[in-house]
Amino acid sequence: MEPNQARLPSTGQELRLALAEGRRQFQGLRLADLDGVNLDLSGCDLSQGCFRESRLGKASLRHCRVEGANFAQALIWGADLFGLQATGSRWHGADFSGSRLQQADFSEAMMHRCCLRGVVAAGCCWHKAGLVEADFSAALDQLTDLGGADFSGADLSYAVFKGAQLAAAQLRGACLYGADLRQTNLAQADLRGCDLRDCQLSGAALNQARLDGALLPEGWDQGGTPTQNKPFSAR
């Protein structure tokens, strides 16, 4: 039987044995509540699988394919998700604290209320993703690096970015209604057409940011300057 036609593992131990045998094709695998701390899943195809409430702290998912998979409420702290292909996947309430997400693709993924504090995610793609109430704030010992990330068309309503690095990020057409952007570096970010109403922007750096057509908080103008007496950084 070819590896991609073999029976799917039904337990974490069977998965480890399959990985040790060199298998990497696990489309449709369903292992909710998997204990996968430190597990090496790099290069695996886990698309359309279900891993709800799994524990994947410090695991490696480098260059994995998880399109359409369900990782709701999974614990993925300190993991390596470099180059992860996650289009259309579901991560509601998952904890990514301190994980590496560079060049990962979460386009159209559902990630409401995810914890992404202290992630290193420069160049990550969240195009049209659902990130309502997601927490991207800086961790106590590590800044959240979202430099050059693509949030175009994403729903970031009430998301928290306090202290995050968003320099040159692509946010065109995103909804940031009610988001917390205090002390955030948005220098050279593309915010054209964004909904920024009711945002908290005190201390945010918006130098050279593009705001054409954006819906701004009350008391701000299209140049990214407060028209009322509000703290603002425009270095």
Write the DSSP string, the chain. Answer: --GGGSPPPSSHHHHHHHHHTT--B-TT-B-TT-B-TT-B-TT-B-TT-B-TT-B-TT-B-TT-B-TT-B-TT-B-TT-B-TT-B-TT-B-TT-B-TT-B-TT-B-TT-B-TT-B-TT-B-TT-B-TT-B-TT-B-PPPSSS--B-TT-B-TT-B-TT-B-TT-B-TT-B-TT-B-TT-B-TT-B-TT-B-TT-B-TT-B-TT-B-TT-B-TT-BPPTTB-TTS-BSSS---B--
pTM: 0.90
pLDDT tens-digit series, residues 19-56: 999 999 999 999 999 999 999 999 999 999 999 999 99
pLDDT tens-digit series, residues 59-98: 999 999 999 999 999 999 999 999 999 999 999 999 999 9
pLDDT tens-digit series, residues 180-213: 999 999 999 999 999 999 999 999 999 999 999 9
